[in-house]
Amino acid sequence: MNPLTDNLPTNISFNELGISASLLRALTDQNYKEPYPIQQKAIPAILEKSDVLGIAQTGSGKTASYVLPILSNLEGNTETKNRHVNVLVLVPTRELAMQVGEVFQLFTSYLQEKIKVLPVYGGVSINPQMINLQNVNVLVATPGRLLELVDAKAVHLSAVRTLVLDEADKMLNLGFKEEVNRILSLLPKRRQNLLFSATLSEDIDAITQLVLHEPVVIKIEAKSENLDLIKQLGYFVAEEKKGPLLRYLIQHNELQQVLVFTSSTYKADNVADKLRKNGIDATAIHSKKSQGARRKALEDFISGALRVLVATDLLARGIDIEFLPHVINYELPRSPKDYIHRIGRTGRAESPGEAISLITPEDKNHFRVIQKKMKKWVTMVDSENLEF
Ligand code: AMP
């Protein structure tokens, strides 16, 4: 039971939440039939200009929960000096910047009034972003690149009315604390603040104390029952046999659309190279690849044109696929939470997916800890009995 969400009426419609008529038309067009729990609570609070603390994961509908009311509030209210943005959304990664930017752009395309949205992130040339920063209303940015743009006087933050910190936990984990603090010091004191995080921690607590003023708190529990729908398997294997076992599993079981996790960018490249050399279509995505290459790999994987995507945890967060049939942990993540996050998208009632972990003798203890935390025991197979 969740006291913060369980007292909500269940059949509330978007019409009753107070968003503008043009956005209601957009929702019908996009087949958003009814608001998700986080949207039921966040939309009215944000429309009223309250601060919001949303504890929610990707997949809960959190993006629309702030995009819709922010755009509603902006309609008829977009005036600002050039290079002074109205809304600033801070995100930890380029992929999320693009995704959030796309959601804003999708909904603004239904508005009569022109609202300009721009995602900016590092790893690509800064010049086009500087030029594009004319008359932007909504800026979606990763912290480092934003500060570069501020230092170049390409954008000023003194007119920001609404600040969003999305995936704030990830932002702090990635070491963006100092950048975020500097950005906060450049914002006007009076403003609306919205902070979203998948988890609560001391760090998140500190930043919410610093940023939020009497926030409306919304907590959406992760759907843990999903774990029951996932077929989990572990294969005991020697370190040097991992590559051949991975190929065997993909080929022998004729797996399509497989997301393989490694713990380092070096390993991701290495695994993808070996798969390709053995005739299995695979690409690695990680922070050292160019923006264009990452985008293409993601698009190909989502469309089904690419069979295997090899990724690290950070990059995999940017993959907006509701259901993944196969996840393979080539290497285990350090935290049990990340393990659950990795396999979470493979659970679906009508066709349960499969999550496979390759377990070396050194991994055994750690995998036991993960299973204990998850409160589920994984069926183990000894790969020595397999012919590969
Ligand atoms: P998010 O948690 O923001 O990443 O959203 C997860 C997915 O749910 C996205 O693909 C959204 O387009 C979709 N979505 C969000 N809200 C709704 C809704 N009320 N009805 C249907 N789909 C939604």
Pull the structure tokens for residue 331.
Answer: 């290497």
pLDDT at 1 over 50: no
- Residue whose Cα lies nearest atom 22 of ligand 1: it is 32
Would you state the CATH architecture of domain 230-385? 3-Layer(aba) Sandwich (3.40)
> Model confidence at 173, in pLDDT bands (50, 70, 90)?
confident
Q: Which region among 106-120, 197-211, 213-227, 231-245 has the lowest average model confidence (pLDDT)?
A: 213-227
State the closest ligand 1 atom to the C-alpha of 62, by its place in the atom list counted from 1. Answer: 3
The span from the first CA to the last CA of the chain, in angstroms, equals 48
Specify the amino acid at residue 198: A
pLDDT at 307: 97
Domain 2-219 identical in fold to domain 230-385: yes
Tens of pLDDT, residues 93-114? 988 999 899 999 999 999 999 9
Least-confidence region, from 25-29, 88-92, 181-185, 188-192: 25-29
Query: Which amino acids bring their CB within 6 angstroms of ligand 1?
Result: 32, 35-36, 39, 58-64, 320
Rounded distance from Cα 13 to ligand 1 centre (Å): 15
Strands, DSSP E only, in the chain? 52-55, 87-90, 117-120, 138-141, 162-165, 192-197, 216-219, 231-236, 258-261, 282-285, 308-311, 326-329, 354-359, 379-382
SS3 content of the chain, % helix, strand, coil (to 5): 45, 15, 40
Among residues 67, 180, 80, the alpha carbon closest in space to that of 134 is found at: 80
Q: How far is the CA of 185 from the centre of ligand 1 (A)?
A: 32
The domain locations on the chain are 2-219, 230-385
CA atoms within 13 A on the CB side of 365: 1
pTM listed for this prediction:
0.66
- Ligand 1 centroid, distance to 150 Cα (angstroms): 32
Query: What is each CA distance from 82 to 85, 112, 131, 153, 385, in whole angstroms?
Result: 8, 21, 12, 12, 68
Q: What is the pLDDT of residues 32-81, one digit of tens each?
A: 889 999 999 999 999 999 999 999 887 788 999 999 999 999 999 888 88
Domain covering 2-219 in this structure, CATH number? 3.40.50.300
Ligand 1 atom closest to the Cα of residue 60 is: 2
d(CA 109, CA 116): 10
For residue 224, is pLDDT > 60? no
What are 346-387's pLDDT values in tens digits?
Answer: 876 667 789 999 999 999 999 999 999 888 999 999 998 888
Q: What is the pLDDT of residues 228-257, one digit of tens each?
A: 788 999 999 999 999 999 999 999 999 999
* Predicted confidence (pLDDT) per residue in 283-304, tens digit: 998 877 877 888 889 889 988 8
Distance (Å) from CA 57 to ligand 1 centroid? 11
pLDDT at 226: 64
Could you identify the atom of ligand 1 that is nearest to the CA of residue 58? 2
Question: Residue type for 356, please?
Answer: I
- Residue 190 CA to ligand 1 center (angstroms) comes to 30
